[in-house]
Structure 1
Amino acid sequence: MGERRRGADLEQALLEAAWLELIEHGYAGLTIERVAEKAGTSRPVISRRWDGKAPLAIAAIRHQMAKHPLEVPDRGNVRTELLEFLERASERAAGIAAAFTLFMSEYLSETSSSPEALHLAIIRGEAESLSVILKRGVERGEVDQKKLIPPVSSLLGDLFRHHAIMNFSAPPPALRKAWVDSVILPLIRAG
């Protein structure tokens, strides 16, 4: 018999098992018992970490999001960085959007509430990554700091999220390029 997993290894196994259950069965079909079985542990082990399936499902989705970070390194050009940000967001959305949308509809119908912590984590992660890109653009003289008012500075993330949620998929490359070239850059460009 193998060595028992503990700590971070056990938690990662539980979150991966919960994610697989969400994909296979949706939120309504997610059971603590199946997650425990898939992770090779017991229900009490899961119950010590998460108080029910909603917090476990939220943790599994957040774990998947963390595996696909949105941070973009300095490429020396704000356009290049914004397009790379959208590419990374699209890669992350490809695996998460359908499960997240299914989770949300089932979760909302079951609980009549919304998972505020998950919503804030999604927005914060996008906002932080975009903020870094825009700040570098300001420092290089490509972006006018005065034009980065809240609706403008968050617009690219808002457009992306809206498309992903409404279409259950990431926006195609041509649309992402149009957002950057025809909407965002004209709004923020210096000079």
Structure 2
Amino acid sequence: MTDENNVDARHAMKMAKKKAARDKIMAAKEGEKGLILVHTGAGKGKSSSGFGMILRCIAHEMPCAVVQFIKGAWDTGERRLIEANFSDLCQFHAMGEGFTWETQDRARDIAAAEKGWAKAKELILDPEIRFVLLDEINIALRYDYLNIEEVVRFLREEKPPMTHVCLTGRNAKEELIEIADLVTEMTLIKHPFRSGIKAQIGVEF
């Protein structure tokens, strides 16, 4: 047997052991539940990942919804695509008025956040909707435009057991992280903005 054949044989044995171990783990995973997912961190990709899951829901014909808490004034590619092609499966509610430094009006920002949260609760409680993306809600929580205790209490006590809710935005509150089933932190390593390059269509929005 050649050295190359030996390498192939060892690789096949290693992968067979991995598969057996993986199959054993998967055999013990039978539970299903509606998940609370948090995407946070300074790196890019939090909203993009959330919209990726929205597209999965659409592909599976699962009714879903989006509530945007900050980027409501933006003309984003995701919003164009969903409203133009998938409005029968995905409700899209742009409730924000831009980033907080653009409005410079705390009372107005609080009012917009509270309106967005009221819509979010309505959508989460809708028995037809299986997945709700709360885009950039963590920013509203960070600035205390929404009460974190109320958000956590609602998600813990009133969210239907099979409804998934994804909350995005940097600086997620510890109380939210504690109750979440999945938390992903996007780490910033390099970003073109630091090199003087503005947000690019198709990448940022």
* TM category, shorter: under 0.3
Work out which of the two has the higher radius of gyration on C-alpha atoms and give 1 or 2: 2
Q: Counting helix residues as a fraction of each chain, which structure ranks higher? A: 1
Q: Which has the higher contact order (CA 8 A, sep 6+)?
A: 2
Q: Counting strand residues as a fraction of each chain, which structure ranks higher? A: 2
TM-score by length of 1: 0.27
TM-score by length of 2: 0.26
